[in-house]
């Protein structure tokens, strides 16, 4: 993604200005609210939390690619969220 327009907005050096976009990721088990943050330097990170059940925060690394930050959280939800949901299922022995 091109550098964001707000990168030219002046803020004191000890302060931060971030842009936040919200997504809703729906699975068969839950709905997840995912926020993707864009920093003035053009880096991005994402955080996702389930709407129901235990609060678990899924996060990405800080990366230069907006879609990658979002994809990292979705992949983490798919990987870790599925493991957790299967652990709660009764053993079929």
> What residue segments make up the domains of the chain, in order of their start?
5-87
What is the structure's pLDDT at 1? 47
For residue range 34-55, list pLDDT tens digits in order.
999 999 999 999 999 999 999 9
Look at residue 27 in the predicted model and tell me its pLDDT.
93
- Please work out, in degrees rounded to the nearest 5, the angle formed at the alpha carbon of residue 21 by the alpha carbons of 14 and 54: 95
Flag whether the pTM goes above 0.75: yes
Residues 69-92 have pLDDT tens digits of 999 999 999 998 766 655 555 545
Q: How confident is the model at residue 6 (pLDDT cuts 50, 70, 90)?
A: confident
């Amino acid at each position: 993604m091109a550098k964001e327009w707000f990168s030219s907005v002046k803020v004191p050096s000890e302060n931060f200005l971030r842009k936040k976009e919200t997504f809703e990721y729906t699975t068969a088990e839950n709905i997840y609210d995912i926020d993707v943050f864009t920093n003035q330097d053009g880096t991005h990170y994402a955080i996702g939390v389930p709407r129901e059940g235990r609060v678990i925060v899924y996060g990405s690394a800080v990366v230069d690619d907006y879609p990658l930050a979002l994809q990292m959280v979705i992949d983490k939800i798919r990987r870790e969220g599925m493991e957790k949901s299967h652990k709660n299922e009764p053993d079929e022995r």
